[in-house]
Structure 1
Amino acid sequence: MPRKLIGLLATVLALFTPARADTLKVMGAGSLRAAMTDLLQHFPKQSDEVDTPEFGASGLMRQKIEGGAHVDVFASADLEQPHKLAAGHPERLVILFARNTLCALARPELGLNGANFLDRLLDPAVRIATSTPGSDPLGTYSWEVFARADSVKPGARATLEAKAKKLVGGGEKTPLLVAGKGAVEGIFLSDQADVMLIYCSAVAAVQEEVPTLTSVKLPSALAVQPADGLVILESKPVALRFAAFVMSEDGQAILQRHGLEPIASADSNRR
């Protein structure tokens, strides 16, 4: 167990004495909306209040915090954004709390599978959508996949980067394409692309809206493993309790139910 996490849990154990009620404010990645909302509903807040959480592209959320937004805990779809917020603040704890995987969502007529994956993406007729690198970790992870493709087929990286249309994750630069629908769903419903790399944990929700889409896990040669990290920006009791709950057995089980890979033990068969 990481030394900082041990210190965090030790601090939490010292917080059982009665204290004045406080308010918890959480900001998180859009990909973590369902999981974080579930965690906030179930963690033992005691007499504290939970403010309405905010979600969006991790890089843009981090910029909002740097601009002065008051947040106690920030949960990102990567570790880079939390580390940027912790830089120069040794009291701010960064915790790896879950992992994810990347999948591709594609129109069925592509016939996309693990064996033809890269060839289909390189096909000039196939339109690729991605999130926005820098603003959103999903876009950055997608670019990492393109970089890995170069070792499989030299020149693939340049081709894929040139083809990719950054249609989500850029805030005002990438508005919703279909009113009332999610960003990814809108891409396919408005016929803007044939394939998109997304988190595997998000596949089911998108397929509920666009059931004809097929999903394929990335071939091992192209696979990257996203890491979800949180940073405690304000070390007040309610924030520490929430972070401890995320890493607890119950918290990790909630994350697992939302398609994330737990870091700590989440034994659903415990007695």
Structure 2
Amino acid sequence: MTNAVQVLSAGSLRHAFPALIGAFGQESGIAISLTLGPAGLLRERIEAGAGFDLFASANMAHPRRLASLGLAEDAICFARNRLCVLARADLDLTRENFLAVLSDPAVRIGTSTPGDDPGGDYAFEVFDRIEARYPGRGEAMKSRSLQLVGGRNSPPAPAGKGAGYLITDGEVDLMMSYYSNARLLAVDRAFSVVDIPGEFQPLIEYGMATRRNADAETRHLRDFLLSATGQEILSKAGFSPIS
């Protein structure tokens, strides 16, 4: 067994990587050491000197920055995602009333933290797209949004509580969420999972970058994520393949 490939990965890949690690290990005999977290904060760690072999981000900007600094090789898109809304079921949110519901000042909107976590950046991009079409509405949503997760000062999720705890605990009425995460709660009658209308949907591309002068094991993992097997595993985890 070779030394483990050290992967720093966006937390939204947490449901995909167990299957990826299992399949990759079976194929190659190479182990993976996985660290999950908000991609922006992981990028900062790398810039501060943290060791890594492969960085997997929920956007392309962070891997490209590391490449521009000479800390990593070129960023490669390996998956796509989309943003949706995880809402209280009794909010009766639909694609058709999406704008009206989110414009209601009484509706509490939760997001991840922009800057620290691409999920927050994408949520704010939705609000910017709304603002461009309906001046005043997007900025109002942005100002009302509660940035509750994915930040350097965000409290950890309470032990034993499911992914929708901020809604079931009454902190917010809805959360802007990656589809790959929200889909897992679609069968729970407490929630509804609603796609964001296409005109407001941001392009969500996941990028990876290997460290400079990466070894053969790391390059093998990079190639595996782009392979038919890797892409199929990502697709089953709710991501869109790059092909």
In 1, the alpha carbon distance for the partners of 2:18 and 2:43 equals: 19
* Unaligned 5+ runs, structure 2: none
Give the drift of 1:205.
2.6
Residues 59-89 of structure 1 deviation map (CA, whole Å, 9 limit, x = unaligned): 0111112222211001011011111111132
Tell me the residue number matched to 2:154. Answer: 174
In 2, the alpha carbon distance for the partners of 1:178 and 1:189 equals: 12
**Counterpart residue type for residue 216 of structure 2:** P
8 Å CA contact 1:102, 1:200 repeated in 2: yes
In 2, the alpha carbon distance for the partners of 1:26 and 1:126 equals: 38
**Counterpart residue type for residue 219 of structure 1:** P
Tell me the residue number matched to 2:43. Answer: 62
Tell me the residue number matched to 1:194. Answer: 173
Give the drift of 1:224.
1.2
Tell me the residue number matched to 2:237. Answer: 258
Residue identity over aligned pairs, in percent, reads: 36
Q: TM-score, normalised by structure 2?
A: 0.93
Q: Among residues 132, 142, 156, which one is paired with 1:151 in the alignment?
A: 132
In 2, the alpha carbon distance for the partners of 1:109 and 1:126 equals: 12
Residues 106-129 of structure 1 deviation map (CA, whole Å, 9 limit, x = unaligned): 112221111110111010110000
Q: Among residues 186, 191, 205, which one is paired with 2:184 in the alignment?
A: 205
Q: In the alignment, is residue 163 of structure 1 matched against residue 144 of structure 2?
A: yes
Q: In the alignment, is residue 215 of structure 1 matched against residue 193 of structure 2?
A: yes
- After superposition, residues 33-48 of structure 1 pair within 5 angstroms as 33-44=14-25, 46-48=28-30
In 1, the alpha carbon distance for the partners of 2:209 and 2:156 equals: 29
Give the drift of 1:177.
4.9
In 1, the alpha carbon distance for the partners of 2:174 and 2:45 equals: 30
Between 134-143 and 230-239, the greater mean CA deviation after superposition: 230-239
Tell me the residue number matched to 1:9. Answer: none
Tell me the residue number matched to 1:130. Answer: 111
Q: Among residues 106, 120, 124, which one is paired with 2:87 in the alignment?
A: 106
Between 199-208 and 152-161, the greater mean CA deviation after superposition: 199-208
**Counterpart residue type for residue 201 of structure 1:** S
In 1, the alpha carbon distance for the partners of 2:196 and 2:78 equals: 23
Give the drift of 1:47.
4.8
In 1, the alpha carbon distance for the partners of 2:9 and 2:72 equals: 20
Give the drift of 1:256.
0.5
**Counterpart residue type for residue 190 of structure 2:** T
**Counterpart residue type for residue 180 of structure 1:** G
8 Å CA contact 1:177, 1:187 repeated in 2: no
Q: In the alignment, is residue 82 of structure 1 matched against residue 63 of structure 2?
A: yes
In 2, the alpha carbon distance for the partners of 1:157 and 1:142 equals: 11
RMSD: 1.8
**Counterpart residue type for residue 244 of structure 1:** D
8 Å CA contact 1:95, 1:230 repeated in 2: yes
Residues 89-117 of structure 1 deviation map (CA, whole Å, 9 limit, x = unaligned): 28613110010011101112221111110
8 Å CA contact 1:178, 1:190 repeated in 2: no
